[in-house]
């Protein structure tokens, strides 16, 4: 066996080890940002590139974007720009020795990142329908040749990057579909939340403000990022049950009779019943918020009269956000409370209506949290 053959065997073994190392991680990953990191690292390692990125097609906005282009956090370029744009249009790979000698080169990325591109490879990723959904791009082969010159990508490098693209395409397509489903679910949640809000004559987007205040409070409580995001998404559903409350009661300017108050309180269980049987975890999570956001820490709330940590944490957080917004905003039955009076009410209700630790975080970060209310209210009432 010649020295060249030995090198090829070693290199082939290296490629296989990389694939066996990365592909299980890629196949198991569903979060797009993490997936792009893994794939960019795999592509760079396989072809010994200085930089590698995976550009995705965003047809709605007519751009190509990458969350990971080694050296930068995110780039967006026109859909038809540069080498990646060419591969999107034609579905063809490219192998370029010197980018600056090719008229298709888009220098804007270099200008933005203060980087010098020389050799380039692009490989399109095809979805199950045969359409280009993204493009692998490798930039600047690492190392120098026997003449002391900078290495350039070879046909063999292009074949290897193409192999990586074939292995990865299905996972990218699944991740893109999952992202689309999540976005659709979020939109449905806000539509349903808006439907409950539209029944009321209250001004402004109460559900959006409650969602943002809940999100900020949850973040300041130190909850895991996933839980913080779930609370932000589910909080708009807290009053969904109001769609089942008669207008005469929902928009009554004066005090409720005992019978009317009992009907109004039923919105908590109504919202829960509308959501609790969903197959979607997020909607079942929202169901618990809808049912429990009027429970009190001291057990004197409704509908179940549960107390303390029996109340789901997300509902405890949403309760604080809901009351902060309700007291601070104009309602058909009252004028908005002054900020200082709202603050005093939370201090008064510490350990009674609200969990003490939640009130402590609220007061400690009052300017930041109340600032969220002011910002969202200004946007909604403008």
Cα torsion 271, 273, 274, 276 to 10°: value is 110
Question: Is residue 245 within 8 Å of residue 266, measured between CB atoms?
Answer: yes
**Residue at token pair 């074949």:** 159
Q: Where residue 203 falls among pLDDT bands split at 50, 70, 90?
A: very low
Residue 242 annotated as catalytic: yes
Residues 201 and 223 in one domain: yes
* Residue 69 pLDDT greater than 80, yes or no: no
Is residue 270 helix, strand or coil? helix
Q: Where residue 22 falls among pLDDT bands split at 50, 70, 90?
A: confident
* Residue 68 pLDDT greater than 80, yes or no: no
Residues 255 and 130 in one domain: no
pLDDT of residue 349: 98
Is residue 72 helix, strand or coil? strand
Domain count, the chain: 2
Give the CATH number for residue 42.
Answer: 3.30.450.40
Lowest-confidence pick of 199-203, 256-260, 270-274, 295-299: 199-203
First vs last C-alpha separation in the chain: 78
Range of the domain at 50: 3-177
Residues 28 and 83 in one domain: yes
Average pLDDT, the chain: 86
Nearest to 139 by CA among 176, 175, 184, 109: 109
- The mean per-residue pLDDT over the stretch 334-362 comes to 96
pLDDT of residue 200: 58
Residues 25 and 156 in one domain: yes
Question: What is the Cα gyration radius of the chain?
Answer: 28
Beta-bridge partner residues of 136? 54, 123
Among 242, 279, 341, 343, the one annotated catalytic = 242
pLDDT digits (tens, 9 = 90+) for 292-311: 999 999 999 999 999 999 99
Cα torsion 350, 354, 359, 362 to 10°: value is -140
| Final residue in a domain of this structure, among 129, 150, 177 | 177
Question: Is residue 350 within 8 Å of residue 320, measured between CB atoms?
Answer: no
| Final residue in a domain of this structure, among 121, 151, 177 | 177
* Residue 179 pLDDT greater than 60, yes or no: yes
* Residue 282 pLDDT greater than 50, yes or no: yes
pLDDT digits (tens, 9 = 90+) for 120-140: 999 999 988 889 999 999 999
| Final residue in a domain of this structure, among 135, 150, 177 | 177
Question: Is residue 281 within 8 Å of residue 272, measured between CB atoms?
Answer: no
């Amino acid at each position: 066996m010649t020295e060249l053959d030995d090198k090829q065997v070693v290199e082939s073994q290296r490629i296989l080890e990389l694939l066996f190392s990365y592909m299980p991680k890629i196949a198991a990953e569903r979060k797009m940002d993490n997936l792009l990191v893994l794939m960019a690292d795999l592509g760079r390692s396989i072809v010994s590139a200085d930089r590698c990125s995976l550009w995705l097609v965003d047809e709605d906005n007519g751009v190509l974007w990458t969350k990971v282009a080694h050296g930068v956090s995110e780039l967006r370029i026109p859909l038809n720009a540069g080498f990646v744009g060419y591969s999107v249009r034609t579905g063809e790979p490219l192998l370029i020795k010197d980018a600056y000698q090719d008229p298709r080169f888009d220098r804007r990325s270099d200008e933005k990142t203060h980087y010098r591109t020389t050799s380039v490879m692009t490989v399109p990723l095809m979805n199950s329908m045969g359409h280009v959904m993204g493009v692998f791009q490798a930039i600047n082969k690492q190392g120098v040749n026997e003449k002391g010159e900078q290495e350039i990508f070879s046909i063999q490098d292009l074949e290897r990057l193409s192999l990586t693209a074939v292995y990865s395409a299905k996972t990218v397509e699944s991740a893109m579909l999952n992202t689309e489903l999540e976005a659709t679910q979020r939109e449905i949640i806000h539509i349903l939340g808006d439907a409950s809000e539209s029944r009321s004559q209250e001004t402004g987007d109460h559900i959006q403000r409650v969602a943002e205040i809940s999100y900020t409070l949850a973040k300041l409580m130190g909850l895991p990022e996933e839980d913080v995001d779930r609370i932000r998404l589910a909080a708009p559903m807290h009053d969904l049950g109001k769609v089942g409350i008669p207008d005469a009661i929902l928009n009554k300017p004066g005090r409720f009779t005992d019978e009317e108050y009992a009907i109004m309180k039923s919105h908590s269980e109504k919202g829960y019943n509308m959501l609790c049987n969903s197959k979607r975890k997020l909607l079942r999570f929202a169901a618990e918020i809808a049912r429990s956001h009027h429970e009190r820490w001291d057990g004197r709330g409704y509908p179940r009269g549960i107390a303390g940590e029996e109340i789901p944490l997300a509902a405890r957080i949403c309760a604080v956000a809901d009351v902060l917004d309700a007291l601070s905003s104009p309602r058909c039955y009252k004028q908005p409370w002054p900020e200082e009076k709202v603050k005093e009410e939370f201090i008064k209700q510490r350990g009674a209506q609200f969990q003490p630790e939640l009130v402590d975080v609220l007061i400690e970060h009052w300017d930041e949290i109340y600032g969220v209310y002011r910002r969202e209210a200004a946007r909604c009432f403008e």
